[in-house]
Amino acid sequence: MTRRTVLKRERWPPSKAKLAALIEEAIVDAYTESEQRVGFYTLLDERLDTPFDTEILGVTVTVERVDMTADEQIVAICRRGRSRQRIPVLDLPLPSPHPAGAEWIEAYRSWTSAE
């Protein structure tokens, strides 16, 4: 008997309840906005499955990783050939299907829009 792997399709976009739970996980024990951003960065770094390809302005790029800038902006490090550029994750278009962990980007977007 052969075994088939069935991939569970997550709801997209995540529900408000799911986003609220992710936000709570990211900011638990974080008291200042700065600490909360670091919480999101840490979880994005740990849980977003990189690298993945996406399209920016009609050009395919590879998102290699996430980073945090000196002014505490969470950015995606995107590469095309030898060129690299930082794109704010708030502006990053997500591919379909979404990479594992993409719900953390949506949670961060939701948190920033509620500020």
Which two structure tokens, joined as six digits, stand for 74?
């969470």
pLDDT at 73: 97
Q: What is the CA angle 32-34-37, rounded to 5?
A: 115
pLDDT at 114: 83
Which two structure tokens, joined as six digits, stand for 52?
């993945």
Whether residue 92 contacts residue 105, with contact meaning beta carbons closer than 8 Å, is answered with yes
Whether residue 97 contacts residue 111, with contact meaning beta carbons closer than 8 Å, is answered with no
2 assigned to some structural domain: no
36 assigned to some structural domain: yes
9 assigned to some structural domain: no
20 assigned to some structural domain: yes
Domain containing 71: what range? 16-114
3 assigned to some structural domain: no
DSSP three-state, residue 16:
helix
pLDDT tens, 36-58?
999 999 999 999 999 999 999 99
pLDDT at 9: 58
33 assigned to some structural domain: yes
Query: For residue 56, which of 28, 31, 85 has the smallest C-alpha distance?
Result: 85
DSSP three-state, residue 14:
coil
Q: Which residues of the chain have pLDDT under 70?
A: 1-10, 115
23 assigned to some structural domain: yes
* Domain total in the chain: 1
Query: For residue 50, which of 61, 39, 34 has the smallest C-alpha distance?
Result: 61
